[in-house]
Amino acid sequence: MPVNLKAPDSLPPVPGVRLGTAEAAIKKPGREDLLLVALAPGTRVAGVFTRNAFAAAPVQLCRERLGAGREVRAWLVNSGNANAATGGAGLADARACCAAAAQALACAPEQVLPFSTGVIGQRLPVERLCAAIPRAAAALREDGWIAAARAIMTTDTVPKGASRRVKLSDGASVTVTGIAKGVGMIRPDLATLLAFVATDARLSPAAARSALSAAVAQSFNCISVDGDTSTNDSCVLAATARAGTRELDEGAADYRVVAAAIEEVCVELAQACVRDGEGATKFVTVEVRGARHADEARRVAYAIADSPLVKTALFAGDANWGRIVMAVGKAGVESLDPARVRIALDEVPLVENGGVHPAYREELGAAVVARPEFAIRVDLGRGAARARVWTCDFSYDYVRINAEYRT
pLDDT tens digit sequence for 245-282: 899 999 999 999 999 999 999 999 999 999 999 999 99
279 dihedral zone (left: phi>0; alpha: psi -120 to 50; beta): left
The DSSP call for residue 204 is -
283-403: CATH architecture? Roll (3.10)
Percent above pLDDT 70 for the chain: 100
Are 149 and 159 spatial neighbours (Cβ–Cβ below 8 Å)? Answer: yes
Cα 335 to Cα 333: distance, rounded to the nearest angstrom: 6
Percent above pLDDT 90 for the chain: 93
Q: What's the pLDDT at 126?
A: 98
Q: Per residue in 269-307, is it b (16+ CB within 10 Å) or e — as a string? A: bbbbbbbbbbbbbbbbbbbbbbbeeeebbbbbbbbbbbb
Active site residue 407: no
Burial of 220 (C-beta count, 10 Å sphere; 0-12/13-18/19+): buried
What type of residue sits at position 310? V
Instruction: Indicate which residue of 86, 192, 199, 285 is catalytic.
Output: 192
Helix (H) or strand (E) holding 234: strand 234-239
Per-residue pLDDT of 154-165, as tens digits, reads 999 999 999 999
Q: How many CB atoms lie within 10 A of CB 406?
A: 11
CATH class of the structural domain 17-275 = alpha beta
Sign, Cα dihedral of 377, 382, 388, 392 = negative
Q: Would you say residue 112 has pLDDT above 80?
A: yes
**In terms of Cα–Cα distance, which of 238, 243, 235, 225 is closest to 279?**
225
Decide whether 17-275 matches 283-403 in CATH topology. no
Domain ranges of the chain: 17-275, 283-403
- What value does the mean pLDDT take over residues 81-91? 97
Q: What's the pLDDT at 1?
A: 75
| Residue 244 confidence class, pLDDT cut points 50, 70, 90 | confident
Are 155 and 226 spatial neighbours (Cβ–Cβ below 8 Å)? Answer: no
The strand pairing partners of 116, in sequence order, are: 78
Q: What's the pLDDT at 192?
A: 65
Q: Which of 12-26, 186-200, 333-347 has the lowest mean pLDDT?
A: 186-200
Burial of 311 (C-beta count, 10 Å sphere; 0-12/13-18/19+): buried
- What value does the mean pLDDT take over residues 319-328? 97
- What value does the mean pLDDT take over residues 301-323? 97
Cα 357 to Cα 354: distance, rounded to the nearest angstrom: 9
pTM to 2 decimal places: 0.96
- Kindly report the CA angle at 74 between 71 and 79, in degrees rounded to 5? 140
Q: What's the pLDDT at 189?
A: 79
Cα 108 to Cα 99: distance, rounded to the nearest angstrom: 8
Q: What is the DSSP string of 87-129?
A: HHHHHHHHHHHHHHHHHHHTS-GGGEEEEEEEETT----HHHH
- State the average pLDDT for the chain: 96
Per-residue pLDDT of 164-216, as tens digits, reads 999 999 999 999 999 999 999 888 877 668 999 999 999 999 999 999 999 99
Q: What are phi and psi of 217, to 5 degrees?
A: -60, -30
Q: What are phi and psi of 317, to 5 degrees?
A: 70, 25
